[in-house]
Each structure stands twice: as C-alpha cells, then as structure tokens.
C-alpha cells in the first residue's frame, strides 16, 4: 500500500506520523516491513523521489531508521542513494544508522590484528574476501612483517636470542 501512497506527501506523512508510533512499535516490522522492494525492483522511496516528494522521502527515511534500523534493509538504497544526495534529501541520519553500517565480526585478519595502529588503504573488492588480501592491500606493511618474521626464524635456527630493534 505504501508504494501507492508514496507520491502523495500528505497521505504518507499522516501514515508515518507519531500518532501511529504505538501501532508500528507493537507490530513486527521485521517480519512485515512497511518499506520493501517491489517485484519490479523499485520501492516507495524510488516512487516518491521520482515525483520529487522530498518531504515524503525524508519521512520514509526517518521511519526506516526508527523501525527498520537493520542492515537487511540496505538494499532499499542500493541504486538511489546518489540520486537522493543530489536531490538534497537529509540522509545523514541514514548514513549513521545500522541500515548502512554493519560490523563484520570474524576471527581472522583484520578482526584480530595485534597491530593497534590504524592503517588505511583503498580496497574495492568484496568485504568477504578482504581477509585474504592483506598482502596485496598493505604491501609495505606485509613485507616488513615478513622480514621481521624471517629474522626471528633465522635467529632461532642459529640459536641466538633475537632482540627487536626499537
């Protein structure tokens, strides 16, 4: 129903108003979300944006952040985020929400690195393959670590105590 109302700002703003807060809070929006992708790949946000209903889009984003604040709904902004920025939709709360921010927790690099210094490097590959790309992403750092490891191993082979140079 929401995709059909999205072109009418007054109806949509009334539907998403604070008066209906208790209804949205009581009902399971995770099981039955108000905003979703249609079979054609569009959403109510796309319809409202196409009709320049910026107030409607802002109300929808506010609703999504409040009630559907989960990374599972990030697909709603997969193709329209740049358009929303160009139309000056207020997306700062969306960028700071759990919809577009998710922490991947796994027990391999970079999740459990003992190096506490922050390093930044460009990476355009899949987040799921990043843990295998450490040597390519941080080439200099990796070469330095390999050199240190080699020195330690060689010192152990020779029976010498290895002392790190500070």
Same domain? 88 vs 8: yes
CA–CA gap between residue 126 and residue 81 (Å, rounded): 20
Residue where one domain finishes, among candidates 58, 73, 96? 96
- Alpha helices (H) along 2-68: 2-5, 9-15, 21-26, 44-50, 54-67
Q: Which of 96, 112, 137 is the last residue of a domain?
A: 96
Using CA atoms, how far apart are residues 7 and 54, in angstroms rounded to an integer? Answer: 10
Residues spanned by the domain of 108: 103-166
Q: Domain check: are 87 and 113 in the same one?
A: no
C-beta neighbour count of 92 within 10 angstroms: 9
Task: Note the pTM of the prediction, 2 decimals.
Answer: 0.59
List the pLDDT tens digit at each of the 166 positions of the chain: 566 566 667 777 777 777 877 777 777 666 777 787 888 888 888 888 888 889 889 988 998 898 888 888 888 898 899 999 999 999 999 999 998 887 766 666 555 666 667 677 788 888 778 778 888 888 888 888 888 888 888 888 887 665 554 4
Q: Are 34 and 63 in contact (CB under 8 A)?
A: yes
Terminal-to-terminal C-alpha distance of the chain: 66
């Amino acid at each position: 129903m929401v995709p059909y109302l999205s072109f009418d700002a007054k109806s949509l703003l009334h539907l998403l108003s604070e008066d209906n807060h208790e209804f949205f809070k009581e009902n399971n929006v995770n099981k039955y979300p108000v905003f979703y992708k249609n079979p054609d790949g569009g959403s109510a946000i796309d319809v409202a944006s196409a009709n320049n209903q910026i107030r409607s889009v802002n109300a929808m984003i506010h609703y999504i952040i409040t009630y559907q604040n989960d990374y599972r709904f990030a697909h709603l902004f997969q193709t329209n985020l740049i358009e929303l920025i160009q139309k000056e939709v207020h997306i700062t709360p969306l960028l700071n929400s759990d919809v577009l921010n998710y922490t991947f927790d796994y027990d391999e690099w970079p999740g459990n690195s003992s190096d506490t210094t922050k390093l930044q490097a460009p990476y355009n590959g899949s987040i799921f393959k990043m843990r295998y790309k450490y040597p390519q992403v941080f080439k200099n750092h990796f070469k330095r670590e390999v050199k240190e490891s080699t020195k330690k191993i060689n010192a152990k082979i020779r029976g010498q105590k290895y002392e790190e140079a500070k």
